[in-house]
Structure 1
Amino acid sequence: MSLAALLAGLGLALDAGLGYMVKAKLDAAADGAAIAAGQAVTRGNTPDQQKANAQQAATAFFNANYPDGFLNSKPTLQTPSVTFDKGTVTIDIAAQAQVPTTFTQLIGFKTLNVATSSESIRRDLDMAFVVDTTTSMNSTAVQKAVRASSIDFLSNFDVTNDRVALMHFATGTVVDVPFKAANARGFDRSTMTTKINGYSFNGNTNSEEALWNARWQLNHVITQPSSLRVIVFFSDGAPNSFSSTFPMTKSSCKTNTGTIVSSDDKPSGSGQQDNPGGLYALGVQTSQALSGTCYDNTAATVDHLPANYNAHAASEPSITFPIVTNTPRVVTQDMNGASYTVRYRNINRASRNLLESMAAQARSEGIFVFALGYGPLLTVGKGADGEQGQDILKCIANVPDGPSRCYNPKQPVGVYCYAATTDDLRPCYSQIASQILRISK
């Protein structure tokens, strides 16, 4: 009798330990299946396609992490449950495993049943996707890589539940596909693919106009925001131009709203007195002056700079972005009669100040900013103060390794990824997509 009791106790300890090992393996497999399903549910154009993709991914990951016959057990994965509800997708995983016992068979227990469950919740997302199409990226190879990686990036998101707006910028900004009206969910990935494939790359870097439009889409086109709001900003350089309503020296043009442009490098040599270039139409992507209008190809037509960014003042009267300022870069008001160097410095510095202040405003509104920088122009000193463009992109993303004057841990902290070559674009986009999907869970 004592021997029987001893064997039963030994068997219980051994089989319980076996059960714990199976339970740990089963938990890990179920968690992996839930995560994989949460990522795969974004693929597909209908809820049925998305559900099928999620279930297929869950099954594949479960089987990979829990091989049949592990410790002689027989696992069973129930069909994953995928529920769509007002922009939130809930995926429930349930699995069991039967484990044959050893010594406890002596007291009538032939199998040990182990069960687990896991859940993945993917919350709704509003994202403004901004693509740089400036002249510096007009080589055939770069254009091809930018188009392909941008299109691939969009495949990470759910066309029926996520809301995405697409825009591109150079001297001006074009909103290719705005958010759907009336707070409707989803986005048209096929139309966005067509738009991206049709991009031409030409013009100056008016990054601020792009960021303003991204904020506007998130704050005003959508009136019932999602739980996660994001701006994804791709560029290969720092801003060197900006828009506003400018006082004009031309008697027939007292004021005019447009974009005043400069370059990345300080002008030098003869014939540069009128550099930077003049005023260009607000919505025009490339630096093409419009003949027969108040727009001119010489910056001397602008009398002085306005105190604040006022290109869209009527749209957002409560928001002020200073142009003439002592911080973080000094910008003076005088433009008419000053040397070309002063005009260049004012435009260059004002452009950078505006981009950083607009990004800070977006973050104060709870918007995450993710920045992807491409190419060699970002890692060398450019502009009036010899700044590296990547430092400005780090500023707008609010990352800890950016300039200390920019980092604010109380605001949403984004991601900055640098793609040194075109081969690095896809991995960078993938990193940003993974981070967005991680915080949406």
Structure 2
Amino acid sequence: MRTLPRQRGQITLIAALTMIGLAGIVGLAVDAGMAYVTKARLNAAVDSAAVAAARAVTNGTTQAQQTAAAQQAASDFFHANFANGYLRGTPTLNTPTVQFEQGKVTISVSATSTMPLTLLKVLGFNNVAVAANSTTIRKDLDMVFVIDSSGSMNPVWSTVRSNANSFLNQFSPTTDRVGLVHFSSGAVSDIAIRTTQRGFDRPAMQTKITGLSNGGYTNYAEGLWQARAQLDSITQTNRSSLRVIVFFSDGRPNTLAATYPLNGNRTCAGGIMVEGENDTSPAGYMAPDQQDTTLSGNCNGVTGNKVPSQMPTYYNVHNAADKEFLIVGSKPKTVTASTNGTDLARNVYRAATNVPLAMASSMRDAGIYIFTLGLDGNGGFDADLLRNMANTADASQYNNKQPSGVYCYAATINDLRPCFAKLASEILRISR
């Protein structure tokens, strides 16, 4: 009976040790769970901060300004997504790093949160530091911005130019290459894309857009041809990993340029404009590399002996020997060689749609993304054509083997700015 107190003491000690062990196990489960939740929230916060920084890095005209803008955006988004005191933690955002290298921008964001422990304190542990990091690489970009400047734009032209200039603010003047083309009856390469040096002169391009006038018909093919010529002027070794055309219009294509054969072994290399398939008075011939200029001499009209003897077989206005894009026999609309009566208007009008479709497909085969924006309310446009040019998933001719861009529909002029913002956002998304 004398050993009873000693046994009781041993039992008490064992029970105490067991309770401490159980408290440690429970504490480990509770605190590990809190650390897991903190880690997940911290990961999301640094990810959002890195993405925000990649978007903001285009702000400013120097790398120092762009770095500051990216770091500020990262800080704002991090603290918005991980507030001080979340699960009693104290977050610390390290200074984000921004590296510029041959057109690419690498942004790294890292952070920690020191979280006080609860039940594990019984084992002598007071807090734990949870860490997370994220890296976003903004790819190098070659982009040509193609703007419709036809006569139908007149009621909204000032707003169009303002929104186009705002669109350019989304791209980096030190790393992104950007060229500018505007088109109506013909197309003008306003500012050529740089072929070796990175960046673009954003103020000069915005000044050019502000000074553009509008007038003429609508020639999609020439706008695309000039855009492709700019992108292809960059040699293979100097091209960016992301090549993009942004194409904006408010109307249906109704002008087709080619080297038209005339009776008497003569030709006129210019564009013919029609009001529709049944137009009895086609106009032309228009200079393909000017906005709205009629050719002179024997090509200053489409009447009498200046009416084409037949439709050209190929799109060949820039070189009579070109055979890349069909006119006669092109698809999806039937185009014949006849120019009798209203056959000329019908074939020109249909080919004015077929040729840009073929051009867009060829460019996508070369890895070029095409983004399109259609503005309604100024006479109507062909939404299906713009979808097919962009190769969106809902396009009637969608090709899953080619890059898929984005088409945005602006029902009114008030929808133009959101559409431009959407296109810029999608371009930045695929550049990461």
TM-score, with structure 1 as normaliser: 0.90
CA–CA distance in 2 between the matches of 1:151 and 1:326? 36
How big is the shift at 1:56? 0.3
C-alpha contact 2:271 2:285 (8 A) present in aligned 1: yes
AA partner of residue 401 (structure 1): D
Show the counterpart of 1:256. 268
Matched, 1:297 2:311: no
Matched, 1:398 2:391: yes
User: Per-residue CA shift, 1:147-191, capped at 9, x if unaligned?
Assistant: 11111111111111111111100011111111114x211011111
- Secondary structure of 2:283's match? coil
Show the counterpart of 1:412. 403
Matched, 1:435 2:426: yes
* Greater radius of gyration (CA): 2
Show the counterpart of 2:143. 127
Show the counterpart of 1:175. 189
How big is the shift at 1:8? 1.8
Show the counterpart of 2:317. 311
Show the counterpart of 1:283. 289
C-alpha contact 2:371 2:405 (8 A) present in aligned 1: yes
C-alpha contact 2:285 2:295 (8 A) present in aligned 1: no
Show the counterpart of 1:266. 278
Structure 1 residue runs of 5 or longer lacking an equivalent are 268-272, 380-387
AA partner of residue 294 (structure 2): A
C-alpha contact 1:30 1:94 (8 A) present in aligned 2: yes
User: Per-residue CA shift, 1:63-103, capped at 9, x if unaligned?
Assistant: 11111111111110000011111111111111011111112
C-alpha contact 1:281 1:295 (8 A) present in aligned 2: no
Identical pairs, percent: 45
Matched, 1:330 2:334: yes
Show the counterpart of 1:383. none
CA–CA distance in 2 between the matches of 1:152 and 1:228? 21
CA–CA distance in 2 between the matches of 1:238 and 1:368? 21
Q: In the TM superposition, what are the counterparts of 1:34-73 in structure 2 within 5 Å?
A: 34-73=50-89
* Selected match of 2:325 from 311, 321, 324: 321
How big is the shift at 1:205? 0.6
Comparing 123-132 with 101-110, greater Cα deviation is found at: 101-110
Show the counterpart of 1:231. 245
C-alpha contact 1:98 1:114 (8 A) present in aligned 2: yes
CA–CA distance in 2 between the matches of 1:377 and 1:402? 23
AA partner of residue 289 (structure 1): T
C-alpha contact 2:243 2:368 (8 A) present in aligned 1: yes
Structure 2 residue runs of 5 or longer lacking an equivalent are 1-16
Matched, 1:195 2:208: yes
Show the counterpart of 1:165. 179
How big is the shift at 1:290? 4.2
Show the counterpart of 1:216. 229
CA–CA distance in 2 between the matches of 1:228 and 1:89? 13
CA–CA distance in 2 between the matches of 1:427 and 1:257? 39
